[in-house]
Amino acid sequence: MRLSVTIFLALALLGTAGLSHAKAGDLADFNAAVAAASSHNRVAIGYLRTGNTDLASLELDRLRDAWHKLTARFAGHRPDAFDGNPLYPKLFTTVDARLVGADIMLNSGRPKIARQSLIAIREDLHKLRQKSGIVELADCIGDANQAGAALTAYDKPGLDLGKPETDYAVAGKAAIYGHELARCDAMASEAVRKDPEFRRLIDGAQHSLTFVPQAISERDDNLFHRVIGELRAIDNLLSFRFG
């Protein structure tokens, strides 16, 4: 009798462990499918930004195929991490509508509106994960982009470095941006962290940020302008490749 109970408990524990692994696998598989679709979305957004509509159309087709595969697998099979998340069931119809809209806008010669639809898909996925307390590298890159935009907003005529309130604000925005970049670096997978392009972009941005205090102390608006130009380029590439 005791042996039977022991075997029963052991099997129960194994079953629980297997179930936990399956649940974790569901989320990992979902994230992998989203990453596959998002890679095409990023490239399409980048091509639309530069006006290359032919290549954008090709990536939109690939995005649509990847999204349909994701929908077929997960629309009726919600990973446990999204239990109780009201955004999950809405995601699939919303993204489908955005894809249709992007296609119509692109074919009618309105690439800017098509790009907005694709950017909205990225925001839909971010909000879904945020609602469930899930953070992926793409979300961190998005946060870094916002922090970078807050800093680059100071690059305008009449900045007049040397005013205490201006210097304080610029230094603070630069520190926040640097913190977000470091957070993204820390949370990236080992493979991504060792990726030469990722390293070049993250390390390059952090290096450029070291010149912000110099620009402030020397009241050098031209230096600040050059630094911001470098950061804008890096920020765009981070979003294009990893966002």
Instruction: State which residues of the chain have pLDDT below 50.
Output: 1-24
Q: Which fold has domain 137-242?
A: Four Helix Bundle (Hemerythrin (Met), subunit A) (1.20.120)
Q: What is the structure's pLDDT at 6?
A: 43
Residue in the structure block whose two tokens are 């205090």: 213
Cα–Cα separations (whole angstroms), residue 132 to 81, 88, 160, 180? 7, 10, 43, 21
Q: What is the structure's pLDDT at 21?
A: 37
Q: Identical fold at 17-131 and 137-242?
A: yes
Residue by residue, DSSP assigns 86-138 as THHHHHHHHHHHHHHHHHHHHHTT-HHHHHHHHHHHHHHHHHHHHHTT---HH
What tokens were used for 189? Answer: 């997978």
- Pairwise CA distance, residues 28 & 145, whole Å: 25
For 134-193, write each residue's pLDDT tens digit. Answer: 888 888 998 899 999 999 999 888 788 888 888 999 999 999 999 999 999 998 988 888
Domain 17-131 CATH assignment equals 1.10.287: no
Q: What is the structure's pLDDT at 46?
A: 87
- Pairwise CA distance, residues 173 & 170, whole Å: 5
Ranges of each domain in the chain: 17-131, 137-242
Q: Look up residue 6 and give its amino acid.
A: T
Q: What is the structure's pLDDT at 14?
A: 40
Q: What is the structure's pLDDT at 162?
A: 83
3-state secondary structure of 90: helix
CA-closest candidate to residue 90, choices 125, 66, 38, 62: 125
- What is the radius of gyration, based on Cα positions, of the chain? 23
Q: Are 134 and 176 in contact (CB under 8 A)?
A: no
Q: Is the dihedral of CA 171, 177, 183, 185 positive or negative?
A: negative
Q: What is the structure's pLDDT at 49?
A: 87
Q: How many CB atoms lie within 10 A of CB 90?
A: 12
Q: Are 167 and 161 in contact (CB under 8 A)?
A: yes
Residues 6+ apart with CB under 8 A from 73: 29, 33
- Pairwise CA distance, residues 13 & 182, whole Å: 40
pTM of the model: 0.71
